[in-house]
Structure 1
């Protein structure tokens, strides 16, 4: 089933700038799906690419967002026009598909999803809820959950999340619900030569639900860290008072 559209608009990066440009709207071929993004959020890796800190080739960024299926190619049965979906941006078996990194991402009015990604189930239906803006948090929250599976927490441990951006805040909030009797500290990092708070750590404790989250600023201690895991642009460390953590074979994939 196919649906024709006029030329679409896309945010296209060229060198160190980005411009809204008109592009032809593709028709989905066999096995492909055409999406219309409803809302898209900006990831830390997107900012890195815009600043030239990564060499990912995609001219159109964006991999966190809610979309609606507008057309499907021949043979597609997993989704149909009208379905609301989020896209898992990382193909488990096809390195040529990394949405917004090596294939065009969601910052455009129409997005063509490759047949290999459709067949792999990377279009995840979300139904009528959550809303468009809330659905942009599905992918970051999945990253956080994956990171927690990579850390082997035990009772009585303290968890430190360094970096209080979106991923850091999601990690701290999610930890409160996943782990009982674990103290969670969310740290905002400061530069070593900062005039204010130099060499100090300022912490504000407050109760949230069944768990406690401490929020503060400072620098990561060099001792007492027994396990660590990178999660997006945040750094997660788990400190234990009595015994080391068991090693875990799981490692988050690099984008």
Structure 2
């Protein structure tokens, strides 16, 4: 909703973009006011026994599978944040009005939500996650390639990119538990994959914009990102195998 409404509000209000952003600040403050009492009520219910013996597990930092999941997490973040940062600008540079570009971004986000819900429902139906990981990454590959080579079909690329990105985030987050043997190891993999992964995701839009400035055209950064999505597809096949990061004592799965 915010992506669709912010430009019309900014264009019709004397306060311009300040009011358009301030509306969402107001909603955030309301959300905080609703949440804080709930946090105070439930704080005591989250206590646990700190004397419990720590469970041994292999560090994901020393595991090839841990790095495959981490790179998968990072590259899918690159896809999402590059599109969030640059899709409206790309559209406007090709003559699409800012309001329409905002609506396209809103559609992208809404479809992503439904794609996430569907992926969550089908993720565990097969023997592993290779097919769904590869297919979702392939959609992002086609999205960036299409934006570079056939920009007139923008709504098609918005649709495919939304399905791909919405599916990928659910897969990436699910892999933290699917590829580990216990909760402490899952927490460790989550910390590794999200810290490194979101670091890559943060760098993606900056590198994309820098390459656009150097080349003077959208095609080079779009094609480079498409190539990155091809790597993502390969990592999806590796991370999607039915394996876990083995414990120090060994496991029936390989790491």
* TM-score higher than 0.5: no
Q: How high is the TM-score relative to the length of structure 2?
A: 0.22
Q: Relative CO higher for 1 or 2, CA cutoff 8 Å, sep ≥ 6? A: 2
Bigger fraction of residues in strand:
1
Bigger fraction of residues in helix:
2
Q: How high is the TM-score relative to the length of structure 1?
A: 0.22
